[in-house]
Structure 1
Amino acid sequence: MITEFLNIDAKAITIDYVLSCHACGHPYYKNQLNSFCTQCGKSPIEVQFQLSPLISKNVIDQKERSMWRYAKLLPLLHTSNRVSLGEGYTPILNMDRMADRLGLDQLLIKDESFNPTGSFKARGLSMAVSKAKELGVEACIVPTAGNAGGALSAYCAKAGMKSIVVMPTHTPEAFKKECKAFGAELILVDGLINDCANVVANIKKDNNYFDISTMKEPYRLEGKKTLGYEIAEQLNWELPDVILYPAGGGTGLIGIWKAFKEMQQMGWVKEIPTKMIAVQAENCRPLVDTFNGLQENCTTYQGAPSIANGLAVPQPFAEKMMLEVLAQSNGLALAISETEISACVKEIAATEGMLVAPEGAALLAALKLLLKNGQINSSQKILLLNTGSCYKYLDSFDF
């Protein structure tokens, strides 16, 4: 339902929402703590706003310089529960020199390294921790490849909540120290993030910790969708022709597309021309293999560690939702080698003066391959989504 108050200020609009399983549609109460759907086999629960063309862009809080400028379109019921460190509102930069090198008309990069704790995980964790606080949670636990652990630790510290982070032993030391600095309890596991998830499941049996894993609660997605709103607003409501996204758990890929669809419902954009490209590491390419028909799904996929920690997610919980985004956007998925990722970190640094995360650097290698294969062309407006800073990864590189 949409309720409009008799007020000339169009910002005085509250937008209702419901919770339901993305797969089977089973409804859930929004005033209760929810994880994932238990009715149809562990599918994600999703927030669905009741939108219409009556909602104008005036609902955006132009005075707010964070992702919370879109608070009217986020499912936090009371602003007193907002846990914010100034996340979002990151720049879109022109990669002019790289565009010239590749013969492109326009190459843009959305640089999420400007976020608190240096990555886009801040968006999802700000929203998820805020909602957890609103619902009375006192302790959160998360399996992580690195950046999500640091972000959860920071936001729980801000909220006065306990945080438990379960991380692969091989993760660079900077990520471990970051979590400890914010007061988190850090547990190290030999293996990848799926092995960490198994440890989380066992810990939860004996403790009242809320699992805030990727897509296993409804609200990290809502924070990540602000990426899509920012991209549209910063580009004057003209969406890119192509977005390349480094896909591990895929929350940002799904969130950007969710934002685009919401904006279309409200009439903020008429069409969605964007082709979504999911980029993975050759060492861990479950989505690519499923997309290419090499396996039915990722449930038994076994991956290996990658220098791009965030891409080493062998069994992404929301694989079906990622595949839906690729299908709806006429997109595709491809994988990049460790050698290419390392080379592109260095190339972007030397060409554009940016130390992007290895996950973001993988996009440059993917872009080159797509251009070579004629799958995108030089006249299109292309945007890369850099998920974070390389500074926490520096010990992994020989510059």
Structure 2
Amino acid sequence: MDNMRFKCPSCGRVYDAGRVLSLCEYCYSPLIYFFEYSKIRESLSFLDVNSFWRYASLLPEVKQEFRISLGEGRTPLFKASRFASILGLNNLFLKDESRNPTNSFRDRAASLLVSHALSLNFREVVCASNGNLGAALAAYCARANIKGTIVVPRRVDIGKLAQMKMYGANIIYNGETVDEAIRFVIEKFVGENFYPATSGLNPLIIEAQKTIAYEIVEQIGVPDYVVVPVGDGGSIYSLWKGFKEFYELGLSFKLPKMIGVQSSTCSPIVQAFERNSRIKRFEDGSTIALAILVLEPLNGELALSAIKESAGLALSVSDKEITEAQRILALEEGVYAETASCAAIAAVKKLSESGFLSKDDNITCIITGSGLKDQYLIAALSGFSKNINLTDKVGLKLRILRLISLGETYGYSLWNSLSKSVSLQAVYQHLSELEERGLIISSERDNRKYYSITARGIRVLNALEELAFLL
């Protein structure tokens, strides 16, 4: 669209959208695109294609010859009837973005980013990512035959890292979390040779992801509530922007309330919402939902604006609630969603049980990606473990930590989950050693000792998972 401009939501400065800009040159805030609705309302039309490119007229202009597509977008939205009945709800819907080519919502962004890079004659795309965006960009760069460089932190989803490797990405390891990887990209990859594709550093990502909202409106109309897992904050703002644009263009007649969900062990946006303050860096966060493990969200203020402007809500859920929601969703609806997505599912359960949601509310949850990328969860839940090149003693501790990370449990249950492949005495010996080292803690009730993982235990588990992958 040729009448688009960049705008800084913080200081209000406007820039020509023909440039490649990551941040406002004055206040260094993330930029957003905007356009004048009156100039396109009369001539607006959508393409008859099975892709998010259907909405090309509402996206930054990329000529057809440069568009790289793998069939992303136009994902299914269906009623979660069985899960809804458990919660006493009548209208719970799932927008399943795991059906995209690399199994996540980030394929929309990757398609637009790589296409835009090609149109500007870039030959290398650079991104900091701990998961879905890196995997998606790697695939689309392979399709476009350009170099994809992904900077990944130590805390990375192993299944998504495997995707990046298979697609031939140039992988650089840096930092503990994605926040540190982003800083590395900002410092090292500057200049005209690198196309920026990191979330929070390229406003095209928001433009691509807003098409999820367009599709929801076309599929079921406007929900009362839209529930979104939140990491860096860009996703929930993207959807809100999409709903608002359709409303301003006269394509819908109301707006939803946006509900943002984070893990209770990494919740900078939720804390800012509850305190009615600006977002502060979350110190030493850790969660099994790595896709939303962002300590200093670049798009955090945009996320807050979406939640507040829509009269919505921000809340956190525990890792235990996330894994329980993941299990129930798979059993009741046949949808195996990634842990980040299940934060949204856990939030619906929590809000329903508290009475915040009423039975006739129309609610849509965004399933951002597939649980098939969370390989260690599959092994832990099924009682199997992949053969890794570690000693049996360390391997068993890893399996026990995996199981405990899914939620509080007790020794006999662990023994059963391990298919009784070791003695019950050995299980209790390992539990004792893990507790001595501060990786798990125990509590007693009903004459039974229950174990749960500590923040240190999660860090050790992540390190062991990475070692297991590399060996």
Q: Output the TM-score relative to the length of structure 1.
A: 0.90
Q: Does 1:311 align with 2:296?
A: no
Work out the CA distance in 2 between the residues paired with 1:329 and 1:64: 31
Counterpart Cα distance in 1 of 2:16 and 2:341: 37
Relative to structure 1, is the Cα distance of residues 207 and 180 closer, same or farther in structure 2, using a 3 angstrom cutoff?
A: farther
The RMSD of aligned alpha carbons is: 1.9
The letter for the 2-side match of 1:59 is: S
Q: Percent identity?
A: 32
Q: Which of 60, 64, 69 is 1:84 aligned to?
A: 69
Q: Which moved more, 1:148-157 or 1:197-206?
A: 197-206
CA contact (8 A) 1:290 1:296 kept: yes
Correspondence for 2:236:
253
SS at match of 2:172: strand
**Greater CA deviation, 23-32 or 386-395?**
23-32
**Higher percent of residues as helix:** 2
Check conservation: 1:172, 1:395, Cα contact below 8 A. Answer: no
1:388 CA drift (Å): 0.7
Q: Which residue of 2 aligns with 1:366?
A: 347
| Counterpart code for 2:22 | S
Number of aligned positions between the proteins = 380
Check whether the contact 1:243–1:382 (CA below 8 A) recurs between aligned residues. Answer: yes
Deviates more, 1:240-249 or 1:198-207: 198-207
Does the alignment pair 1:27 with 2:14? yes
Question: Aligned residue for 2:444?
Answer: none
Residues 95-129 of structure 1: CA distance to partner in whole angstroms, max 9, x if unpaired?
Answer: 01011111111110000000111100111121122
Partner secondary structure for residue 116 of structure 1:
coil
| Correspondent of 2:328 among 347, 369, 373 | 347
Partner residue in 2 for 1:233: 218
Q: Which amino acid aligns with 2:96?
A: D
Q: Is the contact made by 2:127 and 2:134 (CA closer than 8 Å) also made in structure 1?
A: yes
Which amino acid counterpart does residue 344 of structure 1 have in structure 2? Answer: A
5+ residue gaps, structure 1? 1-13
Distance 2:199 2:371 in 1: 22
Distance 1:168 1:18 in 2: 33
1:327 is matched with which residue: 304, 308, 311? Answer: 308
Q: Which deviates more from structure 2 when the two are superposed, residues 152-161 or residues 25-34?
A: 25-34
Among candidates 117, 138, 150, match of residue 135 of structure 2: 150
Question: Hey, what's the Cα distance between the residues in 2 that align with 1:333 and 1:121?
Answer: 22
Cα pair 1:76 1:130 within 8 Å, conserved = no
Q: Secondary structure at the match of 2:209?
A: helix
Q: Determine helix, strand or coil for the equivalent of 1:276.
A: strand
Deviates more, 1:210-219 or 1:114-123: 210-219
**SS at the partner of 1:244?**
strand
User: Among 34, 37, 48, which residue is 1:51 paired with?
Assistant: 37
Superposition deviation, residue 343 in structure 1? 1.3
Secondary structure at 1:52's aligned position in 2? Answer: helix
Structure 2: stretches of 5+ with no match in the other structure: 382-471
Mapped to 2, the partners of 1:50 and 1:77 lie a distance apart of: 19
Q: Normalising by structure 2, report the TM-score.
A: 0.77
Residue 374 of structure 2: SS of its match in structure 1?
helix
Counterpart pick for 1:96 among 74, 81, 90: 81
Aligned to 1:140, the other structure's residue is in SS state strand
Indicate conservation of the 8 Å contact 2:158/2:375, yes or no. no
What letter corresponds to residue 302 of structure 1 in structure 2?
A: E
SS at match of 1:316: coil
Asked if residue 174 in structure 1 is aligned to residue 155 in structure 2, the reply is no
Between 315-324 and 182-191, the greater mean CA deviation after superposition: 182-191
Deviation at 1:353, TM superposition (A): 0.9
Q: 1:385 aligns with which of 360, 366, 371?
A: 366
Match of 1:7 in 2: none
Q: Does 1:42 align with 2:25?
A: no
Return the alpha-carbon distance in structure 2 between the equivalents of residues 44 and 230 of structure 1: 25
- 1:20 Cα deviation (Å)? 2.1
1:211 to 189, 196, 214: 196
Aligned to 1:197: 182
Distance 1:396 1:303, change over 3 A: farther
Partner residue in 2 for 1:10 = none
Which portions of structure 1, spanning 4 or more consecutive aligned residues, are displaced by more than 3 angstroms? 205-208
Secondary structure in 1 aligned to 2:346? helix
Residues 213-271 of structure 1 show CA distances to partners (whole Å, capped at 9, x for unaligned) of: 11212211110010010000111xx2000111001122221111111111122111122
Comparing 207-216 with 284-293, greater Cα deviation is found at 207-216
- The superposition leaves residues 48-79 of structure 1 with CA deviations (integer Å, 9 ceiling, x where unpaired) of 12213973696111x20010111111112411
Q: Does 1:281 align with 2:263?
A: yes
Instruction: Find out whether 1:337 has 2:323 as its counterpart.
Output: no
In the alignment, the residues of structure 1 paired with residue 191 and residue 15 of structure 2 have an alpha-carbon distance, to the nearest angstrom, of 25
Aligned to 2:169: 184
C-alpha distance in structure 2 between counterparts of 1:295 and 1:201, whole Å: 26
Q: CA deviation at 1:171?
A: 2.1
Aligned to 2:50: 65
Q: What is the alpha-carbon distance in structure 2 between the residues aligned to residue 206 and residue 380 of structure 1?
A: 49
Q: Aligned residue for 1:11?
A: none
- SS of the equivalent of 1:354 reads coil
Check conservation: 1:145, 1:168, Cα contact below 8 A. Answer: yes
Give 1 or 2 for the bigger CA radius of gyration. 2
The CA deviation at 1:294 is 7.8
1:263 has 2:250 as partner? no
Q: Pick closer, same or farther for the CA change 1:268–1:15 going to 2, 3 Å.
A: farther
Corresponding residue for residue 222 of structure 1: 207
